[in-house]
Structure 1
Amino acid sequence: MIPDQEEVLALFGTGRPMRKHDWVNMLRGLVARLLFTGHVVICAKQYSQVICDTKAWFMLILLAVIYAEFILLIVLRRGKEWKWFLLSILCYLLAVVPTLWILEIRSLKILVDGMNNTCGDDSKTSTENSTILGLQMTHQEWSVTLQQILLFVLIIGRWILPRGPVTSDQISQLLLIQIGIGADILEFSTEGLRLPEVEAQSSVVYVILAVWTASLFQFTLCLTVRKRRKPRANDKGFQKFKSFAGMCCATEVWSIIVTSSLQDGPFLLVRIYLISIQETQNQLLIFFMLKNILVLLLQCYRLWVLLNRRLNMRRSQRIAVKLVKVRHEAGDVGTLDSRMGTLQPGFMDTKV
């Protein structure tokens, strides 16, 4: 039996025909992925000029995963991205970050040791310029420029990608926050790796690059989605679990935890190590260390405010429910709506 149109629509996607905003979502998803592809190609081109190897072009295989996921999103979600996680940005980071690691390490070796390039011509050194898209810069300048482009691509990509359940107000707040996050990440990688005490120590360089890489993965998470309220179950144990989960697993709470664990906390530890152990005397380093301390304190305070507010709300709800039950047993007008868990008009008019 040949399935009709309704059965096909029920099998693929949301069970409805394609609409105008669905085509817009698909176009936005395609533009964002083309933006990721362009940056990966530029990084691979610079890698081939500096390292004189074509291995970086194998990173383009990960881009096939991005477009395969795009086709899956078209079929299942009409082009909208996943609710909590962005697989396209993860694949983009996995494709571009290893190349940037190698370029940065090579540029530091050139700067410290003055090593020569082994590209056929022994007289050709790696301190020469590279030309990509008509722009001619040194290898070290290209390394910094590609890191800067990476952050711009991440922020613009998050803006272009279809938002799904995230509202325009939420995405605008998210982008403003991520611009500040990107500036801190860029300063950490570029200024930290250019310190004289760091350039000659490969172990410290690897630690800084590892922390920098971990901080980038927070762009793969979408922590602005607010859960919709669902009807409450009658099971008291389930109600207690929902109360605890709502208090500890709120979206803003997770956002604070992720930012502190992936960025401000590790950045602070590295900067304290550079100042105390490596005895690095740098005003910008001290300023950003104090800034990380202040941000962590404010985030802890915000976390305490959120948890305290949720506890007060739960406490007030329990007291209100008990008072309503007492008045209901006494035969007064106030009643408890067991299905919605709200007070009927008339209860608040009575003084307790």
Structure 2
Amino acid sequence: MELRVLFNALVTRLLFVLHSLVAVWRVTEVKKEPKYWLLALLNLPLCLETALTLKFKQGRGYKWFSPAIFIYLISIVPSLWLLELHPEIQFCSNKSELLGQSISEKVQHYSRGETRDNHILEKAWDLVNTVSTVCEPVWTLGLHQTFLLFLIIGRWLLPIGGEITRDQLSQLLLMFVGTAADILEFTSETLEIENVRNKHILVYAILAVWTWSMLQFPLDLAVQHVECGPSISSKKVFRLLLCRHSADLWNIGISLFIQDGPFLIVRLILMGYFNVITQMLVFFTAKNILSVMLQLYRLIVLSLDFHASLRYQSNSRKGGVACCPCEPNSISLPPNSCDTDEKESASIPLEGSVTAECL
């Protein structure tokens, strides 16, 4: 086993565990009950997954799915739910601004080296106590932000398996950056509205949609193409479509059923039924509508291109090759294939040429 692979696999999972423990600590601080430390037991499956991955996969990842990311979601999402649902931490007072200034002054004071070595631990503990008294919504938002950052950084650091290339990983990480920004905006922009906070059913619905949207992070299907086996014939249209455009269809499915679609439904309910209308809510609703429309348009384009390709293949087998296959290619056409009036046999390069029938 390579030392670098082992280091990345262990360090990434250690970061996941530490961040989950910080979230559990905040829950115990808010609830004032030690029993919530039992949430830390949700990290045990990650320890088991680490051992199994090191033994059977030599620290590398799996095809299409990341168990470490999925277990990390399981370990931290319940803590974030409890923090968001706690009734006493919904809004900050002016005290948080004073605490922020106090923390900044202490950090500058310590950075100038004005403390002696024998008081470093005492001052550090004082700084930690000051940070712990920051307004709870600030803590919750910070946990949300670091949660999404750890998902992206962790997916980057986790050793990749043999089925995904570095180019595909870079594409996946870029997609995750945009996805994380949309998800964070969805939760922060909606849960900060006072009329929403006062209705528990809305908070539950928003958190449920948020949790549903997080399930896309453990999956790598958005950048991997399924290989078409020889057993898949043109008669199995749906399977052949999935085979040829698996990555594109998965991206469309994510947008319609996991992210933009559910976000749009929640925002429309807020605006239409509960009469919650803000400038940012209207803007992001319009953005979700545009995203859904573009994804549907792309689905139609892929479908038309796929059926045109099937018709071309069918004509090829029957001896009547179509004049303009939509996929660039170079094929020798038989006589009388494109011109019924003139009889000639020619090898016609079709690369880069598109006629009106294909548009």
TM-score range, shorter chain: 0.7 to 0.9
1:140 is the counterpart of 2:120: no
TM-score by length of 1: 0.75
Q: How does 1:84-163 map to 2 (within 5 A)?
A: 84-106=64-86, 108-111=87-90, 135-136=131-132, 137-163=134-160
Q: How far did 1:324 drift?
A: 8.9
Check whether the contact 1:83–1:225 (CA below 8 A) recurs between aligned residues. no
| In structure 2, distance between residues paired with 1:176 and 1:270 | 26
Q: Which is further off, 138-147 or 83-92?
A: 83-92
* Change in CA separation of 1:75 and 1:321 when aligned onto 2, cut-off 3 Å: farther
Q: Structure 1: which 5+ residue stretches go unaligned?
A: 1-17, 115-128, 326-342
Q: How far did 1:192 drift?
A: 0.6
Match of 2:7 among 20, 27, 33: 27
| In structure 1, distance between residues paired with 2:9 and 2:283 | 39
* Change in CA separation of 1:78 and 1:102 when aligned onto 2, cut-off 3 Å: same
1:304 is the counterpart of 2:303: no
Q: Supply the RMSD in Å over aligned alpha carbons.
A: 2.9
* Change in CA separation of 1:246 and 1:70 when aligned onto 2, cut-off 3 Å: farther
| In structure 2, distance between residues paired with 1:25 and 1:248 | 33
* Change in CA separation of 1:270 and 1:206 when aligned onto 2, cut-off 3 Å: same
| In structure 2, distance between residues paired with 1:102 and 1:109 | 12
Match of 2:28 among 25, 48, 53: 48
Q: How far did 1:198 drift?
A: 0.7
1:39 is the counterpart of 2:23: no
Check whether the contact 2:195–2:276 (CA below 8 A) recurs between aligned residues. yes
Q: Structure 2: which 5+ residue stretches go unaligned?
A: 94-102, 104-125, 322-328, 335-344, 349-359
Check whether the contact 1:248–1:307 (CA below 8 A) recurs between aligned residues. no
* Change in CA separation of 1:200 and 1:84 when aligned onto 2, cut-off 3 Å: same
TM-score by length of 2: 0.74
1:197 is the counterpart of 2:177: no
* Change in CA separation of 1:73 and 1:195 when aligned onto 2, cut-off 3 Å: same
| In structure 1, distance between residues paired with 2:128 and 2:212 | 28
The SS at the match of 1:219 is: coil
Q: How far did 1:43 drift?
A: 0.5
| In structure 1, distance between residues paired with 2:236 and 2:45 | 36
| In structure 2, distance between residues paired with 1:131 and 1:210 | 35
* Change in CA separation of 1:46 and 1:344 when aligned onto 2, cut-off 3 Å: closer
| In structure 1, distance between residues paired with 2:330 and 2:180 | 49
Match of 1:316 among 312, 317, 331: 312
Q: How far did 1:158 drift?
A: 1.4
Number of corresponding residues: 295
The SS at the match of 2:319 is: helix
Query: What do residues 29-54 of structure 1 show as CA deviations (whole Å, max 9, x unaligned)?
Result: 22221111111011011111111123
1:79 is the counterpart of 2:83: no
